[in-house]
Amino acid sequence: MMELSQKLAVLGRLEAYLGGKGTEEEQESLRLAKQLAFAHNGWFTPEFVDLSLQNICKYYLAPEKLEAWVAQYPGFGRPASRKKVGIVAAGNIPLVGFHDWLTGFLSGHEIRIKLSSKDNILLPHIFEKIAEWAPEAAQDTVVADMLRDCDAYIATGSNNSARYFNYYFAKYPHIIRRNRTSAAVLTGAESPEELDALADDVMLYFGLGCRNVTKVYVPEGYDFEPLLTALKKYDRLADHHKYKNNYDYNLALYLLNLSPYQTNGSLLLHESESLFSPLSVLHYGFYRNRQELEAQLRESQDLQCLVAADAVPFGQAQYPSLTDYADGVDTAAFLASL
């Protein structure tokens, strides 16, 4: 089994590789993997795959951040008893399962990972590269279609799949994640720069991530024009045929149902009670007491991030750190406790 120091060293090489600092041959290898990922899943555009890789390098693999993070868990990477940990990875945005794998890899346990069919190119490519640099690492991560005989499980999926996960994994230590989304609370006093940043929270990765803002809460009498103008920053997404199909479909529904909406030509604004909005739609709702609203939202089981002046800053929802655990459950502490 690799020592923790060896794993940190190989992750340092991974940071250089994913950051485009490898040899010409390595850069070509990464380019082909990204190209194949886009061909396999049209939502994984070069722009958003590159963004995901940049974020992994900056927020997850920076050596000083990794070392400080690992130091928070005494004994991490040196379990008294090595377990088999099954990970069911999501695939809604590029490499969304990387943090779970990274935590498992450093924990010292054997990781068996079931990949999403939507994101089964980039992660295996990373595993292959690590095994190429450090052959002994090959035994630490196994890609599997079935996760049988594991000692613990980490599974991410829809509300429906979460019910199955809870049934099948009930007798094992587990973390089960379900559908979540994010919301923003606006006061009406936001600067153009803050609204421009909020556009990132809404539109990055086409809005497919659980950290994407799918609903904004605004005071009564709010003027939506500045927000719609800021969101035009992502007009280019309407050139993507899969996104445009969603926009046209939802626009047709609102027209046929005589349902009020606003649009800037690439995103629809629609008033709704639901936190979750369809792709290409941003829901909104009105509030009277901001403090009460934010307190209620913080208690919601459906909320991943709250973007507000006194919560996650505008523009930062899609830039999680190593300690921004999905659903607020500390994955590293869970693995360290096995």
What's the pTM?
0.95
Share of the chain above pLDDT 70, in %: 100
pLDDT for the residue numbered 2 = 87
pLDDT for the residue numbered 322 = 97
Judged against a pLDDT cut of 90, whether residue 23 lies above it is answered with no
Region 145-150: mean pLDDT is 93
The residue written with tokens 């850069």 in the block is 27
Q: Give the dihedral sign, CA 253/258/261/264.
A: positive
Q: pLDDT averaged over the chain?
A: 96
Distance from C-alpha of 128 to C-alpha of 161, rounded to nearest angstrom: 29
- How many residues can be counted in the chain? 338
The residue written with tokens 């939202």 in the block is 297
Helices 122-133, 4-18: inter-axial angle, 10-degree rounding: 120
pLDDT for the residue numbered 320 = 97
Judged against a pLDDT cut of 90, whether residue 200 lies above it is answered with yes
249-280 pLDDT, tens digit per residue, is: 999 999 999 999 999 999 999 999 999 999 99
> Minimal CA–CA distance to 127: which of 89, 109, 101?
101
Region 198-216: mean pLDDT is 98
> Minimal CA–CA distance to 264: which of 273, 251, 277?
251
Region 12-40: mean pLDDT is 95
Q: What is the Cα Rg of the chain in Å?
A: 21
Region 113-133: mean pLDDT is 97
pLDDT for the residue numbered 75 = 86
Q: Are 83 and 17 in contact (CB under 8 A)?
A: no
Distance from C-alpha of 140 to C-alpha of 2, rounded to nearest angstrom: 8
Give the pairing of strands 268-271 and 281-287. Answer: parallel
Distance from C-alpha of 50 to C-alpha of 290, rounded to nearest angstrom: 37
DSSP structural state of residue 96:
T
pLDDT for the residue numbered 247 = 98
> Minimal CA–CA distance to 174: which of 144, 150, 209, 139?
150
> Minimal CA–CA distance to 117: which of 178, 44, 201?
44
pLDDT for the residue numbered 334 = 97
The residue written with tokens 């990949």 in the block is 115
* H-run or E-run covering 296: helix 290-298
Region 194-207: mean pLDDT is 98
Spell out the residues 6+ positions from residue 321 whose beta carbon is closer than 8 angstroms to its own: 59, 65
